[in-house]
Amino acid sequence: MRGWIWALAAIASSTPAAAQTISMPIAKGFWISATDKCAAATNGYAFDGKRWGAVYFYGPNAGMGPAVELEPITRTRPVAGGFTYMQFGGYDGAGYFQVKPLAPNRMLFRTGAPGPEGIQVMDDTLIRCDLSALSPKMRTALARAIPALAVK
Residue 84 lies in a domain: yes
Residue 12 lies in a domain: no
Number of domains in the chain: 1
CA 43, 22, 76: angle at the middle one, nearest 5? 80
Residue 118 predicted with pLDDT over 70: yes
Full-model pTM: 0.83
At 13 the pLDDT is 36
Q: How many helices (H) and strands (E) does the chain have?
A: 2, 8
What average pLDDT does the segment 127-151 reach? 93
User: Tell me: the pLDDT tens digits for 28-64?
Assistant: 999 999 999 999 999 999 999 999 999 999 999 999 9
Give phi and psi for 37, each to the nearest 5. Answer: -110, 135
Residue 24 lies in a domain: yes
Residue 105 lies in a domain: yes
Residue 10 lies in a domain: no
The runs of H, that is alpha helices, within the chain are 2-13, 136-145
Residue 14 lies in a domain: no
Q: What CATH number did the domain enclosing 26 receive?
A: 2.40.128
Residue 83 lies in a domain: yes
21 pLDDT band, cuts 50/70/90, is low
16 pLDDT band, cuts 50/70/90, is very low
Domain encompassing residue 133: 20-149
Q: Report the mean per-residue pLDDT for the chain.
A: 86
Residue 6 lies in a domain: no
